[in-house]
Amino acid sequence: MTQATKTSIHNIPNYLTLLRIISIPFILIPLESGKANSCLLSALIFSIAFFTDWLDGFIARKKNLITKFGKIFDPLADKLLIGSSLIVLLDLDWVTAWMVILLIGREIAVTWLRSMLAAKGQILASSWWGKYKTFFQALAVIPLMIHYRYGSIDFSFWGLILLWIALILTIWSGLLYFFQYYPLLMDKGSTP
State in Å, rounded, how far the first CA of the chain is from the last one. Answer: 28
Q: Is 100 left (phi over 0), alpha (psi -120 to 50) or beta?
A: alpha
Dihedral sign for Cα atoms in the order 147, 149, 150, 155: positive
Compute the distance between CA of residue 168 and CA of residue 181 in angstroms, rounded to an integer: 20
Compute the distance between CA of residue 46 and CA of residue 28 in angstroms, rounded to an integer: 9
Of 3, 43, 2, give the one whose Cα is nearest residue 23: 43
Q: What is the per-residue pLDDT for 81?
A: 95
Q: What is the per-residue pLDDT for 188?
A: 62
Ordered per-residue pLDDT tens for the chain, 192 residues: 444 345 567 788 888 989 999 999 999 999 999 999 999 999 999 999 999 988 888 887 888 877 777 777 888 889 999 999 999 999 999 999 999 999 999 999 988 888 888 787 777 777 888 889 999 999 999 999 999 999 999 999 999 999 999 999 999 999 998 888 878 777 765 444
**Structural domain boundaries of the chain?**
3-190
Q: What is the per-residue pLDDT for 164?
A: 98
Q: What is the per-residue pLDDT for 2?
A: 42
Q: What is the per-residue pLDDT for 5?
A: 42
Compute the distance between CA of residue 160 and CA of residue 96 in angstroms, rounded to an integer: 10
Q: What is the per-residue pLDDT for 8?
A: 66
**Phi and psi angles of residue 147, each rounded to the nearest 5 degrees, phi first:** 65, -50
Q: What is the CATH number of domain 3-190?
A: 1.20.120.1760
Q: What is the per-residue pLDDT for 192?
A: 44
Compute the distance between CA of residue 101 and CA of residue 182 in angstroms, rounded to an integer: 22
Q: pLDDT tens digits for 53-101?
A: 888 888 878 888 777 777 778 888 899 999 999 999 999 999 999 999 9
pTM here is: 0.85
Give the three-class secondary structure for 150: strand
